[in-house]
Amino acid sequence: MLKLKVEEMSCGHCVKAVTEAANTVADVDAVEVDLAGGLVTITGNADSAAVIAALDEAGYPASKIA
Ligand SMILES: [Cu+2]
């Protein structure tokens, strides 16, 4: 499991965009977004750098917290 702090998420559209961006990465099984907390939890064996790159590219700067 991968936990990320993700900036710039402010509404349901952002949740959808972040979820879709994360789902483009190989080995992401599930994406859970905590909009209020600015947290994203990824289930699966995805490479954390690849997930962070995908979210950054979508406009949501992300950093690994666990
Ligand atoms: Cu939004």
- Is the pLDDT reported for residue 29 higher than 90? yes
Ligand 1: centre distance to CA 8 (Å)? 8
The pTM of the full predicted model, rounded to 2 decimals, is: 0.95
Give the burial class of 65: count Cβ atoms within 10 A of its Cβ; 0-12 exposed, 13-18 middle, 19 or more buried.
exposed
Q: Percentage of the chain with pLDDT > 90?
A: 98
Ligand 1: centre distance to CA 66 (Å)? 24
Ligand 1: centre distance to CA 52 (Å)? 18
Ligand 1: centre distance to CA 9 (Å)? 6
Going along the chain from its start, the domains and CATH numbers come out as: 2-64 (3.30.70.100)
* Mean pLDDT to the nearest integer, 8-31: 98
Ligand 1: centre distance to CA 6 (Å)? 12
Average pLDDT of the chain is 97
